[in-house]
Structure 1
Amino acid sequence: MKTYSYEEAFEESLKYFSGDELAARVWVNKYAMKDSYGSIYEKSPADMHWRIANELARVEKKYPNPLTSEELFKLLDKFKYIVPQGSPMTGIGNNYQVASLSNCFVIGVEGPGDSYGGIIKMDEEQVQLMKRRGGVGHDLSHIRPKGSPVKNSALTSTGIVPFMERYSNSTREVAQDGRRGALMLSVSIKHPDSEAFIDAKMTEGKITGANVSVKIDDEFMTAAINDKGYIQQYPIYSETPTTVKEIKAKSLWEKIVHNAWKSAEPGVLFWDTIIKESVPDCYADLGYRTVSTNPCGEIPLCPYDSCRLLAINLYSYVENPFTDKAKFNFDLFKKHVALAQRIMDDIIDLELEKIETILSKIKSDPENEEVKRTEYNLWQKIYKKTGQGRRTGVGITAEGDMLAALNLRYGTEEATDFSEEVHKTIALAAYNASVDMAKERGAFEVYDTDREANNPFINRLKDADSALYEKMKKYGRRNIACLTIAPTGTTSLMTQTTSGIEPVFLPVYKRRRKVNPNDTNVRVDFVDETGDAFEEYIVFHHKFVTWMEAKGYNPAKRYTQEEIDKLVEESPYNKATSNDVDWLMKVKMQGRIQKWVDHSISVTINLPNDVNEELVNKLYVEAWKAGCKGCTVYRDGSRSGVLIATEPKKDKEKESKEALAEGLLIPSMPTNPEVLKRPSELEADVVRFQNNKEKWVAFVGLYDGRPYEIFTGLQDDEEGISLPKSVVSGKIIKNVDEAGNKRYDFQFQNKRGYKTTIEGLSEKFNKEYWNYAKLISGVLRWGMPIDQVVKLVSSLQLDSESINNWKNGVERALKRYVQNGTKATGTKCPNCGNETLIYQEGCLICTTCGSSRCG
């Protein structure tokens, strides 16, 4: 099959996206069909859409009234109407990689599950799913609380938090060679260790590989609002619990609010609402009891179930956008929603084929049967649950642009009324399509009308469309649940619209283009600190350009800032950006739309830095009252404020406070110089990475969870180091002989439980690496903020190619420890030229244009 260079694919994609470089690069980097060596087999998104259309048409031929490839292609082309997301887009028809088409999974336990065997089994299952690029969620409420008696040499349980760290570290281990794991950990507020869970991520460097959400019941919310007591117990659902304690609900609630205000976590899941509204939970006794959610929270799932996602581009159904004749084509929309539900059902068949391929590969792998057993059994369970329930995830994107195109301002009552009508239409059309497919293809295996008779969501559909309900009683339904609203992220860059249910981020922003000041007809607007010259130019949000054209404005004209401000003020995007929208109204909007979404909605309430905790409290309470299933807030810059200062002692207190005020000490590091002496042993992380097909490894020594020193170089090389792939952590031990010579050894526990020591890290790597590592370790030990250490390493001017590879590796290793949300000060986005980069999961994300750079 023909392959293309990156440049060929980029140039062709650039034409496809009408010159939109960001969209073209996103498609080539993330979605073009590739093999495991990175060879590119598609030249533009048109090739991808034909690949998907042909595969869907192949499935369609199994059923009555099949759709053709041409019909399917028209729905997919130009990302105009129906957009498979993430794993389906990359995986459908790609036989070069053995991967699942599911975006997300939840795993669980059978029986008590709080034994070490059960906990480690879940750890292995999590890793096996992540290596197939699936996001994973699981609940920790089954683990006994700290101090509980156990029948082993430990005598008492360590509680939840150490296992949070274990699962988090496993996620980071899978996040190698360009793959990033995604994990959601949840726990019930009723669990006696829930406070420790809520606090777990407030210390720098802890649980960095997971999102965390607390499952809150109505009883707790009522007690918190009314300042009443609340009973925690373990097991949480037992009538005869072994542990019982009464707490002040208000105090724990205030901690949740404070931590969310300070660090954007934990998120909250209103669990009684989730369970009460959940259609699959009508079949809880048959294995469909919801236990947790996927990493972004939009799909609550039972153990070993999964979901595939698809978005419908709402903007494309607005006729005559931004004019006084603008209207929404509900007839075409209902037709396409039905087709989207049908396509999602086809994708389930394709996923079952993919799982069969995965199972065949596991069988043929060279490992012995005992090693392969957990992975094989895992995929068998997923195969059964996928085929039995046929769960789908039809969602939307471009809600913000749809409302603006209809001359409605996001966040107003009028706009919310219209959004609710759109989502009601989706629910009725998707469920009608699922019933029609049940008639043609058969209902999902355990469908039972009587079981669903008291479900609030089903009864809402019944009240809105009695004919649908009667038809469903007769034929059943093809899919156990159908709908969600996920964050569309990079997908929205290709649809060139607002993302998911969110409003526009900014309708207008500036970019900079580097120019040669000596060229003729060049205008220099900005010169940076290195002397490079830039021309500044305005970038308009794609649909803002459409609005300008509809109103007779020329997007190519050079506008002054005053003129731009007037344009924005005149447009329907005025006071409708993510930072402008009335936050309470956004929560109410989410609650009203949630009534027509059988899964959940991923939405973040963006808040400015100066809001107080009371506002966060008000938003969370309103979200609960409005019927939201979950809520997440993000206060601008909050994640960089997570660090906990070590308290200064006694007579040092005043001196330390003065030093902190003058910026001489870093609050995340000890202020007593004696503490800064290196301990004889340090906990250490092992970070593997790849540069130009060379395998590298870094040992990062940690002091209180913060990087303190680093050793790195080539692995598995004659001059390098050999280390089992399973090793992700250990200890760095400092040895000093009688002559004062220092040696640093790495010690880890092998699979059989024996300690293994690799002597002399400083001798294992090139001396030049070692000398630079001493420099970096020095600044780490004196508390320079990690993001500034990364910047220092990045700025090193090195001639040797191998040393530059080393430098890149150190950057990658250290970025993992930068708190999410930390601003990359003094660093410009290579795409738009603005200093609006933040660290997120080890990557630099531009909050102006959305571009990202990892590694």
Structure 2
Amino acid sequence: MEAAKSAKAKLETTPDELKVYSYQDSVASAKEYFRGDDLAATVWVSKYALKDSFGKIYELNPDQMHWRIANEIARIEKNYPNPLTAVKVYELLKDFKYVIPQGGPMTGIGNNMQIASLSNCFVIGQDNPADSYGGIIRIDEEQVQLMKRRGGVGHDLSHIRPTGSPVLNSALTSTGVVPFMERYSNSTREVAQDGRRGALMLSISIKHPDAERFIDAKMETGKVTGANVSVKIDDEFMKCVQTGRKYVQQYPINSTTPKYRVEIDAQKLWKKIVHNAWKSAEPGILFWDTILRESVADCYADLGYRTVSTNPCGEIPLCPYDSCRLLALNLYSYVENPFTPKAKFDYDLFKRHVIIAMRMMDDIIDLELEKVEAIIEKVNNDPEDEEIKFVERHLWEKIREKAINGRRTGLGITAEGDMLAALGIRYGSDEAIDFSENIQRMLAVEAYRSSVIMSRERGSFPIYDTKREMKNPFVNRIKEADPALYKEMSEVGRRNISMLTIAPTGTTSLMTQTTSGIEPVFLPVYKRRRKVNPNDKDVVVTFVDEVGDSWEEYYVFHHKFITWLEINGYDVEAVKQYDPEQMDEVIAKSPYHKATSNDVDWVSKVKMQGRMQKWVDHSISVTVNLPADITEEMVSKVYKTAWESGCKGVTVYRDGSRAGVLVSSKKETKENSAEFPNKRPNSVDCEVIRFKNNDEQWIAFVGIINNRPYEIFTGIVDEEVRPIPKTITKGKIIKVKDDKGSRYDFQYVDKYGYTNTLGGISHMFNKEYWNYAKLISGVLRNGMPINDIVNLVSSLRLDSDTINSWRNGVERALKRFIPNGTKAKLGTKCPECGAETLIYQEGCLICTSCGTSKCG
């Protein structure tokens, strides 16, 4: 408790008085906090620890972060009746046990050293969108202004006139939506070049005549790499697909007297959507009529709350210039006596915490409004001309207005998979679906109850009107579940226009050390291997390979699977030594058996999403993972089942899709050709290699053509500025040309099936590295044998220590591609026996005389 008081006291001081910690010290302290979890520690320090604009770290571990957040929320609470204390808030945040701020709130609350928004996501687009270059460029500028404040952005393109439409300028006819998709995508990548990861969702109505071009836009290599894309599908289109009737596309899409109208074969377009999703995991689908029909905020559409698009992950459909902040409840922590026959869910504690979590969410809106005011003040004080500052200032003024009038929140959940396992319920079973829906219903009712209580104490959102909501299906479900609550809401109003979501909790789940969102466990146990020196003290050698290298194989356990082992009397250290058959026997006895992401039937997952969606007034972010051999017909069935089940949207990811399936606009070289192409293709495959260079963490991006290196970019890893999941080992290097010249971007697909782009890897390292990289890449492209290039690089003697380190990194990365059996350069002797019998095996020099392995 004394340590907690000390941390609290530190965070009540000014930034100048705060102690600055080294990255290593913070990681060490965070690792102790997370009980030895390296990944959780490094992610927390890189993404969430308090920092200033220069990257200085002011927090040693998450406990200080939680006091920072608790103090700020308590400060806002003092403005209202019955305020929460900082200690009460801290108790809910502590150890990531109950309430978890996500993303922006975790990094930004209490950070006065960086001027950034607390909102996780925004949607933009005028209420009366202008189909003109002026309107299109305005959206482009607003998108960039939001992304530089670290917000994800979504906007809809259905207002842009279709290809071939007449325009009153020198072009004569419109180019349609696709060129503007590329414009917005490029803007996202440009923001990412400065160390920020832009996130963008582009959507279009299936009713738009350019819908098919939109759907195909990302199938060409290197196109629209900076955006996720989704199609807004209406009920009429789905009915036409089912019955074989023609479907009418028109422009403008909502006009009763459209300028352009065409009948299309709905089934043919549907097959195109399904094929592209099967092949590349995009486009995602938004069932737009379901979204609008269920949306509580759309009861106020005529007052500016008409939903037009979603955030990049699809869980928050929003009106123009509205934004949302995210908070999640850790469901696992509400299981008493987990993994035992006495396990039960603590409903009373859960209800109490939902009430408080909604208060915290409302407080965060006030904190966000303070941030918005600070942004507007900064814009006003900037030295640019008023004409230049107008767009940014007006943007934030509109965002402020939406936040004040709607007070939208994003309260969600995480650890669904672990909660079910702790209760002994198999994920995907009918019992699991029923139980999960019941918990979500309880969350919805109590969240609305909390909003009603706050309305009585703090006032309702200004435009609340009971009559407007009388026919809303979601509100009527609340009414049916709790008539007394609805009656009170009708009398006193509600504090928040909409308030529930289920967002992806990727890095957040690393902090909670649980399963993510409503997803099942990926695997309870999986195996990794690392090369070891057999002469080191206490080293464990699992096997020696055919070239004499020693390896240790070790198990990686899901955190809550370890908890199950401990509760059920297993010696965890002993289990770590089990052979595969023994491990399978143990897993078969656990509640995670037949309940992993690969085990759960897609029908069950879609059914669960649909049932839970009835109690989420926004939406749910979830990806349906499918096996590699699934047919396109089955993908179609997934989509149709999702629509029939009441889902608001669905994304599929077929195992292995996106890798090597995109069609290049250039002629491809023959696979069996030994020659490199005369001109660099727009896209080449890439292998990502991580290694230690002295005490530094390095990374190499190696472009591959015809199974051999074609180019290389390498340097020191900056996980804070350029975070790439350590599980990513492959991707593509895309050559991009724009008005600033050309650059190389790294593109990869994450575990959720989303394409991510790291902008400008050609310039992300030291400028000298780039100059030498061009030199080495030029040699590679001219076909010089890899071992000769390695010898050339290793023979360089440079005056700069940093360049010598770079040289070592290039040498280590390229050695991996030397064909097995290649002899070392003439005169190279074995350090053990002195024989000139060294050959390369898997990048290591092996002596065929004595078996010595030399890796360096």
Structure 2 length-normalised TM: 0.80
The aligned residue for residue 716 of structure 1 is none
* Distance in 1, Cα, partners of 2:793 & 2:282: 35
The one-letter code sitting in structure 2 at the alignment partner of 1:523 is V
* Distance in 2, Cα, partners of 1:547 & 1:364: 57
Return closer, same or farther for 1:367/1:646 CA change in 2, 3 Å cut-off: closer
Q: Give 2:511's match in structure 1, choosing from 464, 488, 494.
A: 494
| Number of aligned residue pairs | 723
The one-letter code sitting in structure 1 at the alignment partner of 2:428 is G
The aligned residue for residue 673 of structure 2 is 664
Return closer, same or farther for 1:388/1:732 CA change in 2, 3 Å cut-off: closer
The aligned residue for residue 8 of structure 2 is none
Bigger shift: residues 511-520 or 74-83:
511-520
1:668-716 CA distance string (max 9 Å, x none): x9xxx7xx4689xx99xxxxxxxxxxxxxxxxx9x9xxx9999999xxx
* Distance in 2, Cα, partners of 1:796 & 1:616: 49
The aligned residue for residue 607 of structure 1 is 626
The aligned residue for residue 550 of structure 1 is 567
Q: Give 2:374's match in structure 1, choosing from 340, 343, 357.
A: 357
Q: Give 2:83's match in structure 1, choosing from 44, 63, 66.
A: 66
SS at match of 2:658: helix
SS at match of 1:19: coil
Return closer, same or farther for 1:440/1:767 CA change in 2, 3 Å cut-off: closer
The one-letter code sitting in structure 1 at the alignment partner of 2:470 is A
Please report how far the alpha carbon of residue 209 of structure 1 lies from its aligned counterpart in structure 2 after TM superposition: 0.2
Please report how far the alpha carbon of residue 554 of structure 1 lies from its aligned counterpart in structure 2 after TM superposition: 1.4
1:37 is the counterpart of 2:54: yes
Return closer, same or farther for 1:616/1:445 CA change in 2, 3 Å cut-off: same
1:289 is the counterpart of 2:313: no
* Distance in 1, Cα, partners of 2:438 & 2:202: 34
Q: Give 1:345's match in structure 2, choosing from 353, 357, 362.
A: 362
What's the RMSD between the two structures over aligned residues? Answer: 3.2
* Distance in 1, Cα, partners of 2:246 & 2:780: 49
Please report how far the alpha carbon of residue 23 of structure 1 lies from its aligned counterpart in structure 2 after TM superposition: 1.0
Please report how far the alpha carbon of residue 481 of structure 1 lies from its aligned counterpart in structure 2 after TM superposition: 0.3
* Distance in 1, Cα, partners of 2:186 & 2:462: 38
Please report how far the alpha carbon of residue 570 of structure 1 lies from its aligned counterpart in structure 2 after TM superposition: 1.3
Give the gaps of 5 or more residues in structure 1: 650-655, 684-700, 714-726, 734-760, 812-825, 827-855
Does structure 2 conserve the Cα–Cα contact (< 8 Å) formed by 1:709 and 1:781? no
1:591 is the counterpart of 2:591: no
Q: Give 1:222's match in structure 2, choosing from 239, 245, 251.
A: 239
Mapping of 1:767-782 within 5 angstroms?
A: 772-773=773-774, 775-776=776-777
Does structure 2 conserve the Cα–Cα contact (< 8 Å) formed by 1:59 and 1:350? yes
Give the gaps of 5 or more residues in structure 2: 1-17, 684-702, 716-735, 743-761, 812-819, 821-856
Please report how far the alpha carbon of residue 510 of structure 1 lies from its aligned counterpart in structure 2 after TM superposition: 1.9
SS at match of 1:146: coil
The aligned residue for residue 625 of structure 1 is 644
SS at match of 1:444: coil
The aligned residue for residue 580 of structure 2 is 561
The aligned residue for residue 297 of structure 2 is 280
Return closer, same or farther for 1:648/1:498 CA change in 2, 3 Å cut-off: closer
Does structure 1 conserve the Cα–Cα contact (< 8 Å) formed by 2:710 and 2:777? no
The aligned residue for residue 337 of structure 2 is 320
The aligned residue for residue 833 of structure 2 is none
1:455 is the counterpart of 2:442: no
Q: Give 1:522's match in structure 2, choosing from 521, 524, 539.
A: 539
* Distance in 1, Cα, partners of 2:659 & 2:181: 21
Does structure 1 conserve the Cα–Cα contact (< 8 Å) formed by 2:712 and 2:773? no
The one-letter code sitting in structure 1 at the alignment partner of 2:673 is L
The aligned residue for residue 167 of structure 1 is 184
1:434-464 CA distance string (max 9 Å, x none): 0000000000010000000000000001011
The aligned residue for residue 739 of structure 2 is 730
Please report how far the alpha carbon of residue 803 of structure 1 lies from its aligned counterpart in structure 2 after TM superposition: 4.3
1:19 is the counterpart of 2:36: yes
The aligned residue for residue 640 of structure 1 is 659
SS at match of 1:556: helix
Bigger shift: residues 209-218 or 24-33:
24-33
The one-letter code sitting in structure 2 at the alignment partner of 1:776 is S
* Distance in 2, Cα, partners of 1:528 & 1:49: 48
* Distance in 1, Cα, partners of 2:360 & 2:189: 34
Return closer, same or farther for 1:550/1:169 CA change in 2, 3 Å cut-off: same
Does structure 1 conserve the Cα–Cα contact (< 8 Å) formed by 2:244 and 2:266? yes
Does structure 2 conserve the Cα–Cα contact (< 8 Å) formed by 1:275 and 1:290? yes
Please report how far the alpha carbon of residue 645 of structure 1 lies from its aligned counterpart in structure 2 after TM superposition: 5.6
The aligned residue for residue 496 of structure 2 is 479
* Distance in 1, Cα, partners of 2:20 & 2:392: 33
Return closer, same or farther for 1:777/1:587 CA change in 2, 3 Å cut-off: farther
Return closer, same or farther for 1:369/1:400 CA change in 2, 3 Å cut-off: same
* Distance in 2, Cα, partners of 1:633 & 1:276: 24
Return closer, same or farther for 1:799/1:434 CA change in 2, 3 Å cut-off: farther
The aligned residue for residue 139 of structure 1 is 156
Structure 1 length-normalised TM: 0.80
* Distance in 2, Cα, partners of 1:81 & 1:548: 23
The one-letter code sitting in structure 2 at the alignment partner of 1:258 is H
Does structure 2 conserve the Cα–Cα contact (< 8 Å) formed by 1:232 and 1:245? yes
Please report how far the alpha carbon of residue 560 of structure 1 lies from its aligned counterpart in structure 2 after TM superposition: 1.3
1:74-111 CA distance string (max 9 Å, x none): 00000000000000000000011000000000000243
Return closer, same or farther for 1:646/1:155 CA change in 2, 3 Å cut-off: closer
Does structure 1 conserve the Cα–Cα contact (< 8 Å) formed by 2:164 and 2:176? yes
Does structure 2 conserve the Cα–Cα contact (< 8 Å) formed by 1:204 and 1:642? no
Return closer, same or farther for 1:802/1:166 CA change in 2, 3 Å cut-off: farther
Please report how far the alpha carbon of residue 779 of structure 1 lies from its aligned counterpart in structure 2 after TM superposition: 5.8
Does structure 1 conserve the Cα–Cα contact (< 8 Å) formed by 2:147 and 2:191? yes
Please report how far the alpha carbon of residue 550 of structure 1 lies from its aligned counterpart in structure 2 after TM superposition: 2.2
The aligned residue for residue 280 of structure 2 is 263
The aligned residue for residue 399 of structure 1 is 416
Please report how far the alpha carbon of residue 768 of structure 1 lies from its aligned counterpart in structure 2 after TM superposition: 9.2
* Distance in 2, Cα, partners of 1:133 & 1:476: 33
Mapping of 1:521-540 within 5 angstroms?
A: 521-525=538-542, 533-540=550-557
Return closer, same or farther for 1:153/1:710 CA change in 2, 3 Å cut-off: farther
Please report how far the alpha carbon of residue 807 of structure 1 lies from its aligned counterpart in structure 2 after TM superposition: 8.4
1:136-176 CA distance string (max 9 Å, x none): 00000000001100011111101000000000000000002
Bigger shift: residues 530-539 or 207-216:
530-539
Q: Give 1:578's match in structure 2, choosing from 576, 593, 597.
A: 597
Please report how far the alpha carbon of residue 810 of structure 1 lies from its aligned counterpart in structure 2 after TM superposition: 11
Mapping of 1:735-754 within 5 angstroms?
A: none
The one-letter code sitting in structure 2 at the alignment partner of 1:62 is N
Does structure 1 conserve the Cα–Cα contact (< 8 Å) formed by 2:713 and 2:773? no
Please report how far the alpha carbon of residue 804 of structure 1 lies from its aligned counterpart in structure 2 after TM superposition: 7.0
* Distance in 2, Cα, partners of 1:480 & 1:520: 62
Please report how far the alpha carbon of residue 35 of structure 1 lies from its aligned counterpart in structure 2 after TM superposition: 0.6
Please report how far the alpha carbon of residue 521 of structure 1 lies from its aligned counterpart in structure 2 after TM superposition: 3.6
The one-letter code sitting in structure 2 at the alignment partner of 1:31 is Y
Return closer, same or farther for 1:547/1:220 CA change in 2, 3 Å cut-off: same
SS at match of 1:254: helix
Return closer, same or farther for 1:114/1:312 CA change in 2, 3 Å cut-off: same
